[in-house]
Amino acid sequence: MQDRLHNFNAGPAALPLPVLEEIKDSFLNFKGSGMSITEVSHRSPWFDDVINDAIQRTKRLLNLNDQYHVLFLQGGASMQFCMAPLNFLSGGQSADYINTGTWSTKAIKEAQIQNKPIKVVASSEDKNFCYIPKGIPFNKDAVYVHLTSNNTIKGTQFESLPDTGSVPMVIDMSSDIMSRSLDMSKVGMIYAGAQKNIGPAGVCMVIIRQDLLDLSPDNIPTMLNYNTFAKKNSMFNTPPCFSIYTIQLVLKWLEETIGGLEKMDERNRKKAKTLYDFIDNSDFYKATADMGSRSLMNVTFRLPNEILEKSFVTKAIESGLGGLKGHRSVGGCRASIYNATGMDAITDLISFMTQFEKTSG
Amino acid sequence: MQDRLHNFNAGPAALPLPVLEEIKDSFLNFKGSGMSITEVSHRSPWFDDVINDAIQRTKRLLNLNDQYHVLFLQGGASMQFCMAPLNFLSGGQSADYINTGTWSTKAIKEAQIQNKPIKVVASSEDKNFCYIPKGIPFNKDAVYVHLTSNNTIKGTQFESLPDTGSVPMVIDMSSDIMSRSLDMSKVGMIYAGAQKNIGPAGVCMVIIRQDLLDLSPDNIPTMLNYNTFAKKNSMFNTPPCFSIYTIQLVLKWLEETIGGLEKMDERNRKKAKTLYDFIDNSDFYKATADMGSRSLMNVTFRLPNEILEKSFVTKAIESGLGGLKGHRSVGGCRASIYNATGMDAITDLISFMTQFEKTSG
């Protein structure tokens, strides 16, 4: 598809081309149903196969034991900022929060708006969130530790999950879910808006352990209770069918074409290393995240000035490289290089960056 | 497309074929962006055009004045059952609810779970919800009157909106939005899961008047506050882009191909009358909703016994007529004939019904 762009958007983001092609090809008649996937009933064997396959693939890819439920909710990660404290802190207990940027800050705000007595046990706000805090003093009596594993805006990422002792982690993994394998032993819940690594906008994957599910009180609204979704296989009401279907295809691609999360991790590390190495070897481009805290998903960098940055983004688009503008809250440039971004996109980006520096530097 | 089914599902439901074809044709490269609509950033001119066009078409189709905001939320109508009382009844006031079936009952439950002092001012539960209550004693001090305009499961529909005096109506219009023109003068809010008349699952259209927006308190979770969506043109966080895009195309089809809601209403009345007339003239099929309360969207009927009903549904599928099974909670048969269902589907259904009666009656 030579008319396709290299898509470096932070989300919604690039999807694997074979996935898009399969959706397109079957769009008017899904699996011989005589209906589009957008028209098929969620109470049909066709959709049952879709959602159950997506769940099974998630369980295999992440090596989940039978204590974990894989759910599909709506409202994005932002709805989870509200739901996690609502479900897990009904008895007046506290939770620990790590603040590593915009999304963590919002998660903290949504717990506080409900008057939940949470504690911010670490923050990198002192240096504009350019690093991931280490040696965090967790509270042993916390119900959970909340963290954002990858920060799309600041371009930082936990290299590995912190040691929270016996306290389960609740992790916003919107921008790095399924990008690497995970040690789930201390993970109580993962949530992830799909629109970066696993699908289109409109669905949030929630992976939740039974002991956390058991914390939800009965007297909260039905659609805000995780048990509603766990008990009905995410079909208490009509789920976002098309988005779940796309996730299913992306997970199939991850398993069958890529070969699983270790292979995906290898690819992602190679892509990120290539791009960071190029930036580090340049005097013109400058990475913004601290070494050791750098994201493998969102490579944030600056040029010598904002005029050059603006010109860089514009000329990149003309060269078939889209979405390189930094988040509006921080400026600069950002290349989001999620799972679906191939090494060819990195190579083409570096060629462009080399050329741009030559003509503008 | 001779391999397409006549789709009588209650939702997700049939979509206009030209809409599906347009999605398919542009799926790998949306409007020359070099990206799929599922990959385009929601902060891009491409998506701005989509969402703004969907809003403008909604305003034109429903003749909305500038007091109304058109929003796109997630979580379906079920999330609205929770949000409406949360936003509008924070000061201890009451609202009136009309109970006309499963969905009204759920809306009432979600207000009660929040300890909101609502009043059920009318119910048709005494006759298994086969009729729409009339002459309802509304309370003048209610903040709003909640009703479900069309009941997919029981096959009933308000022929016209009740007179609630100066109290604004909050209407779950999931299954008949955009099926007819509306007198908005007493409507404070409409909400509608898209997956029946206007799009695929995964988005809920909310049309809300400014005076109701002004009732929302500040101390509720951000994602549950209507103002969050009104202030950010439904883009506080990533919206369900693909579902909104599909809505846009359906509304374009409604305006430009059908010719607006009066024309749509004419078509829908003709379709429903043809089917009800056939059923009423038969001794074999029996409509379940009372005359005067019958839905133009969901035609519910019974056969002489459940064995015949099961056989009817199975043989219908073999004849290219899908989704005729009644809701699992009530049994029987149901033909959902939303906007996208053409007269050809009705004619083919009646031919099949005639034939089935001949061979089984």
Residue A29, chain B, CB below 8 Å: the answer is yes
Strand partners, A98: A122
Q: Pick the residue of A37, A109, A205, A238 with the most B CBs within 10 A to test the interface with B by mutation.
A: A238
Q: Looking at this predicted complex, what is its ipTM?
A: 0.97
Chain B residues within 8 A of A29 when measuring between CB atoms? 1, 3-4
**How many whole angstroms from its chain centre is CA B124?**
20
Question: Between chains, do B243 and A242 touch, taking CB under 8 Å as contact?
Answer: yes
Residue B2 binned pLDDT confidence (cut-offs 50, 70, 90):
low
Question: Between chains, do B238 and A43 touch, taking CB under 8 Å as contact?
Answer: no
Looking at chain A, which residue has its C-alpha nearest residue B32?
A: A3
Looking at chain B, which residue has its C-alpha nearest residue A340?
A: B39
Give the model's pLDDT for residue A361: 64
The tokens for B192 are 């509608």
Q: In what order do the strands lie in the sheet with B298-302?
A: B286-287, B298-302, B333-336
Helix (H, G, I), strand (E, B) or coil at B291: coil
Strand partners, B256: none
Our CA-based measurement puts residue B35 at a distance from the nearest CA of chain A, in whole angstroms, of: 6
Residue A238, chain B, CB below 8 Å: the answer is yes
Our CA-based measurement puts residue A185 at a distance from the nearest CA of chain B, in whole angstroms, of: 31
User: What is the C-alpha separation between A248 and B338, in angstroms, rounded?
Assistant: 29
Characterize A142-180 residue by residue with b for buried, 16 or more Cβ atoms within 10 angstroms of its Cβ, and e for exposed.
Answer: bbbbbbbbbbbbbbbbbeebbebeebbbbbbbbbbbbbb
pTM attached to this predicted model: 0.98
Residue B354, chain A, CB below 8 Å: the answer is no
Query: Which of B197, B168, B186 minimizes the C-alpha distance to B268?
Result: B197
Could you confirm whether B103 is annotated as catalytic?
A: yes
User: What is the C-alpha separation between B21 and B28, in angstroms, rounded?
Assistant: 13
Chain A residues within 8 A of B205 when measuring between CB atoms? none
Which runs of consecutive H residues, i.e. helices, occur in chain B?
Answer: 17-25, 45-61, 76-88, 102-112, 210-213, 226-231, 241-252, 261-280, 306-318, 343-360
Question: Between chains, do B35 and A79 touch, taking CB under 8 Å as contact?
Answer: no
Strands B298-302 and B333-336, bridge-based pairing: antiparallel
Question: Between chains, do B21 and A28 touch, taking CB under 8 Å as contact?
Answer: yes
Region at A331 (left for phi over 0; alpha for psi -120 to 50; beta for the rest): left
User: What is the C-alpha separation between B7 and B324, in angstroms, rounded?
Assistant: 8
Chain A residues within 8 A of B241 when measuring between CB atoms? 12, 200-202
Looking at chain B, which residue has its C-alpha nearest residue A108?
A: B221
Residues 6 or more apart whose CB falls under 8 angstroms from that of B14 comprise A35, A39, B6, B7, B8, B338, B340, B341, B345
Could you confirm whether A59 is annotated as catalytic?
A: no
The predicted-structure confidence for B286-305, as pLDDT tens digits, reads as follows: 999 999 999 999 999 999 99
Chain A residues within 8 A of B228 when measuring between CB atoms? none
User: What is the C-alpha separation between B124 and B182, in angstroms, rounded?
Assistant: 24
Which runs of consecutive H residues, i.e. helices, occur in A71-135?
Answer: 76-88, 102-113
Letter for the amino acid at B195?
Q
> pLDDT tens digits, chain A, 361 residues: what are they?
458 999 999 999 999 999 999 999 999 999 999 999 999 999 999 999 999 999 999 999 999 999 999 999 999 999 999 999 999 999 999 999 999 999 999 999 999 999 999 999 999 999 999 999 999 999 999 999 999 999 999 999 999 999 999 999 999 999 999 999 999 999 999 999 999 999 999 999 999 999 999 999 999 999 999 999 999 999 999 999 999 999 999 999 999 999 999 999 999 999 999 999 999 999 999 999 999 999 999 999 999 999 999 999 999 999 999 999 999 888 999 999 999 999 999 999 999 999 999 998 6
Question: Between chains, do B113 and A222 touch, taking CB under 8 Å as contact?
Answer: yes
Q: Which residue among B96, B116, B172, B271 is the active-site one?
A: B172
Q: How many CB atoms lie within 10 A of CB B65?
A: 9
User: Which of A34, A201, A220 lies closest to B241 in CB terms?
Assistant: A201
Strands (E), B137-227: 145-148, 150-151, 156-157, 169-172, 187-193, 204-209
Question: Between chains, do A35 and B114 touch, taking CB under 8 Å as contact?
Answer: no
Residue with tokens 């269902």: B341
Our CA-based measurement puts residue B269 at a distance from the nearest CA of chain A, in whole angstroms, of: 23
Chain B residues within 8 A of A224 when measuring between CB atoms? 82
User: What is the C-alpha separation between B289 and B154, in angstroms, rounded?
Assistant: 7
The predicted-structure confidence for B26-62, as pLDDT tens digits, reads as follows: 999 999 999 999 999 999 999 999 999 999 999 999 9
Chain B residues within 8 A of A4 when measuring between CB atoms? 28-29, 34-35
The predicted-structure confidence for B112-158, as pLDDT tens digits, reads as follows: 999 999 999 999 999 999 999 999 999 999 999 999 999 999 999 99
The tokens for A44 are 């049909």
Could you confirm whether A46 is annotated as catalytic?
A: no
Residue B224, chain A, CB below 8 Å: the answer is yes
Helix (H, G, I), strand (E, B) or coil at A259: coil
Looking at chain B, which residue has its C-alpha nearest residue A42?
A: B12
H or E segment to which residue A286 belongs: strand A286-287
Residue B13, chain A, CB below 8 Å: the answer is yes
Give the model's pLDDT for residue B353: 98
Our CA-based measurement puts residue A27 at a distance from the nearest CA of chain B, in whole angstroms, of: 6
- pLDDT over threshold 50, residue B1: no
User: Which of A34, A76, A86 lies closest to B5 in CB terms?
Assistant: A34
CA dist B210 to A256, B46, B186, B215, Å?
Answer: 51, 28, 13, 9
Chain A residues within 8 A of B82 when measuring between CB atoms? 221-224
Residue B314, chain A, CB below 8 Å: the answer is no
Residue B82, chain A, CB below 8 Å: the answer is yes
- N- to C-terminal Cα separation, chain B: 33
Question: Rg (Cα) of chain B, in Å, rounded?
Answer: 21
Residue A236, chain B, CB below 8 Å: the answer is yes
Looking at chain A, which residue has its C-alpha nearest residue B241?
A: A201
User: Which of A10, A242, A323 lies closest to B242 in CB terms?
Assistant: A242
The tokens for A193 are 């808006």
Our CA-based measurement puts residue B281 at a distance from the nearest CA of chain A, in whole angstroms, of: 31
Sign of the dihedral through C-alpha A256, A259, A260, A264: negative
Give the mean pLDDT of B59-86. Answer: 98
A121, A96 Cβ separation under 8 angstroms: yes
